Amino acid sequence: MQKIVPLALVAALLPVAALAEGSVRGAEIGFSWSGLAEGQQRHKNNLALEGAVEYGFTPGFAAQMDVAQHHFTNSNDEATNVTLHAIGHVNDGFAVGGFLGHEWVGGNHMEHYGLEATHDFGLLTLEGNATLLKNDGNDATILGLDGRYALTDALSLGGRVETVNADHGSDTTAFDATVGYAMPSGVKIDGSLGLVDGNQSDRELTVGLGVKLLMGGNGVTFGKRGLSQSIIGN
């Protein structure tokens, strides 16, 4: 059931967008993979099927819904993530938001909520978020910053940093260099190469790849949130 529900929600995003074409700002659906790249750790992977849709109620206010299904190849666990964002579009380049979501990760239930903001400076786009995870007293905080610079209309380079600080458990910090290529058809390919460093584990080299279809121009305003999005390999 855990697999069926999010996949059905993702499949439902496209007809919903078609029925409300005049008010839908954008949508996207895609597949992503991330993992550890060195030695015996190469079997640790995070595979995800993801979708999102953004609905504009007014020119200045919108709601975004994300759904994702993850599979972790090492532990053979599944994770389901559903997140709802409330977005204020201050102007064409600047947006702020708050989000609330629920995750089922390996049989554990947890909630996540927080604040986010993004600013398009023209060639440079920055996005930041602060997330609080609630998991039966074993809480954690996630802080993330993502930047992209457009070299051409199709090609962009960027970087991101993310920290996960747990009340009881390991803390991790991840650094990534990113590249994106957008095709005229709306298909976008993303890649990343980076390092993840934890206080209870060795520093590891990471790699990631994603393919998604963007609808409505650039897709949705904000990226995905939650613990399952932050796990590189498990």
pLDDT in tens, 216-225: 878 999 999 9
In this prediction, residue 42 has a pLDDT band, given cuts at 50, 70 and 90, of: low
The helix/strand/coil state of 99 is strand
Mean of pLDDT values over 15-42: 73
Q: Which two tokens stand for residue 177?
A: 């260099």
Mean of pLDDT values over 38-55: 81
Residue 108 has pLDDT above 60, yes or no: yes
Q: Which two tokens stand for residue 7?
A: 């996949």
Residue 17 has pLDDT above 60, yes or no: no
66, 147, 93, 164: CA torsion to nearest 10: 50
Calpha distance 217→214 (Å, rounded) = 7
In this prediction, residue 18 has a pLDDT band, given cuts at 50, 70 and 90, of: very low
Task: Identify the CATH number of the domain defined by range 4-230.
Answer: 2.40.160.40
Calpha distance 7→144 (Å, rounded) = 27
Residue 51 has pLDDT above 60, yes or no: yes
29-43, 77-91, 167-181 — most confident range: 77-91
Higher pLDDT, 34 or 202: 34
Amino acid identity at 64: Q
Q: Evaluate whether 78 touches 62 at the Cβ level (below 8 Å).
A: no
Backbone angles phi, psi at 138, to 5 degrees: -95, 75
Tokens 């947006």 belong to: 95
In this prediction, residue 43 has a pLDDT band, given cuts at 50, 70 and 90, of: low
How many Å from the N-terminal Cα to the C-terminal Cα in the chain?
22
Please name which of 55, 6, 26, 38 lies closest in space to residue 232, comparing C-alpha atoms.
38
Mean of pLDDT values over 115-135: 96
Amino acid identity at 97: G
pLDDT at 48: 95
Distance of CA 128 to the CA centre of its chain: 12
What is the b/e burial string over 16-33, where b = at least 16 CB atoms within 10 angstroms of the residue's CB?
Answer: ebeeeeeebbbbbbbebe
pLDDT at 234: 45
In this prediction, residue 77 has a pLDDT band, given cuts at 50, 70 and 90, of: confident
Mean of pLDDT values over 136-155: 93
Q: What percent of the chain has pLDDT over 90?
A: 66
